[in-house]
C-alpha cells in the first residue's frame, strides 16, 4: 500500500472472487454468468424468475452445483410443464459482470414487467434513512474487498432483513430476489435498497418480484425512470446519509421533515 504521503506499507487485502458460472436447465446450457460464488442457489431462483423462466419457486424441482475445470455449473431442474415452456423459448446468454441484457437479439425480447394493480404503499423518510445508515454494516464482503455490490431487503420500518452481495449488481439483486422467493417473503412487506445506480434492468427485476419501492445509492438512468413511471414504482435515488432525491412517487414518502 502506498499512501498519499509517500509512505509504503505492507498490507494483505481480501480480493472479491469472480468466476464463470454456466447456468443450465436440466442438461441444456442457457448461459454463462460472471458471479461471486456464494448464495448460488438463491441466484438460481432469482435469475430464473427475472428471466421469465419460472413464475414461482414451485416451478423448480432442484438446484445443483458442479465444479468444472474452468468454473462452475449451476444446474436448475424445472418441473415438466415449465421445462416444456422453457424449451420453446430461445436465448443465448453471455453474461459479463456488468451486463444485464447480454444475449438479447431483438428489442421485442427486452424484459417487460407488468404493472401491479392498486396504489403503491407509503414509506417514511425515516425508514429510508435507517436502511441507508445500516447498509454498510450489513455488507461483510464489501467491507473486506471494496469490490462488490449489495442488494438489501428492508422492512417497512427500514430495518434491513436480508442482504446479498456479488461482483455484479444484477447478480446481487437476483440473489436477493431468489432468497426472498425461497423464504416465501411477500413483496408487500418491504422495499429494495441497492448500492448501484438504478438502471432499467434493476427496475424491471424489482417489478417482476412484485416490490413497489426501489431505493438506490446512485442516480437512475432515463430509461429506469421511464419504466418506474410506467410500472408506478416509487423510485428513490442518490440515497445518502444526508438526504435522498425522489424521482417518482414523491407523494408516497412521508416525513415530518422539510423535503427539498
- What element of type H or E holds 87? helix 80-87
CB 214 within 8 A of CB 198: yes
Catalytic-role residue among 83, 99, 102, 109: 99
CB 235 within 8 A of CB 221: no
Cα(149)–Cα(126) distance, integer angstroms: 24
Cα(29)–Cα(249) distance, integer angstroms: 40
Sign of CA dihedral 2, 240, 47, 182: positive
- Cα 225 to its chain centre, rounded Å, is 17
Catalytic annotation present for 99: yes
Using DSSP's 3-state secondary structure scheme, residue 88 falls into coil
CB 218 within 8 A of CB 198: yes
- Residue 176: phi, psi to the nearest 5? -65, -50
Q: Which long-range contacts (CB under 8 A, 24 or more apart) does 140-143 make?
A: 140/165, 141/16, 141/36, 141/38, 141/165, 142/195
Residues noted as catalytic: 99
Amino acid at each position: 500500500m502506498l499512501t498519499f504521503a509517500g509512505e509504503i506499507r505492507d498490507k494483505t487485502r481480501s480480493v472479491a472472487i469472480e468466476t464463470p458460472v454456466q447456468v443450465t436447465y436440466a442438461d441444456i446450457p442457457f448461459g454463462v454468468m460472471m458471479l461471486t460464488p456464494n448464495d448460488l442457489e438463491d441466484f438460481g431462483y432469482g435469475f430464473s424468475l427475472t428471466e421469465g423462466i419460472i413464475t414461482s419457486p414451485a416451478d423448480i424441482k432442484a438446484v445443483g452445483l458442479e465444479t468444472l475445470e474452468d468454473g462452475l455449473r449451476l444446474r436448475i431442474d424445472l418441473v415438466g410443464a415449465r421445462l416444456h415452456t422453457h424449451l420453446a423459448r430461445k436465448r443465448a446468454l453471455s453474461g459479463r459482470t456488468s451486463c444485464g441484457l447480454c444475449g438479447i437479439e431483438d428489442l421485442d425480447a427486452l424484459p417487460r414487467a407488468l404493472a401491479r394493480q392498486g396504489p403503491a404503499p407509503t414509506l417514511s423518510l425515516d425508514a429510508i434513512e435507517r436502511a441507508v445508515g445500516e447498509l454498510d454494516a450489513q455488507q461483510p464482503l464489501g467491507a473486506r474487498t471494496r469490490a462488490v455490490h449489495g442488494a438489501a431487503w428492508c422492512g417497512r420500518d427500514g430495518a434491513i432483513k436480508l442482504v446479498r452481495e456479488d461482483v455484479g449488481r444484477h447478480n446481487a439483486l437476483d440473489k436477493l430476489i431468489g432468497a426472498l422467493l425461497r423464504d416465501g417473503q411477500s413483496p408487500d412487506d418491504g422495499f429494495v435498497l441497492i448500492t448501484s445506480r438504478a438502471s432499467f434492468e434493476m427496475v424491471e427485476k424489482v417489478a417482476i418480484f412484485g416490490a413497489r419501492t426501489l431505493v438506490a445509492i446512485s442516480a437512475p438512468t432515463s430509461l429506469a425512470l421511464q419504466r418506474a413511471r410506467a410500472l408506478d414504482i416509487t423510485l428513490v435515488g442518490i440515497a445518502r446519509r444526508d438526504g435522498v432525491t425522489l424521482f417518482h412517487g414523491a407523494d408516497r414518502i412521508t416525513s415530518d421533515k422539510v423535503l427539498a
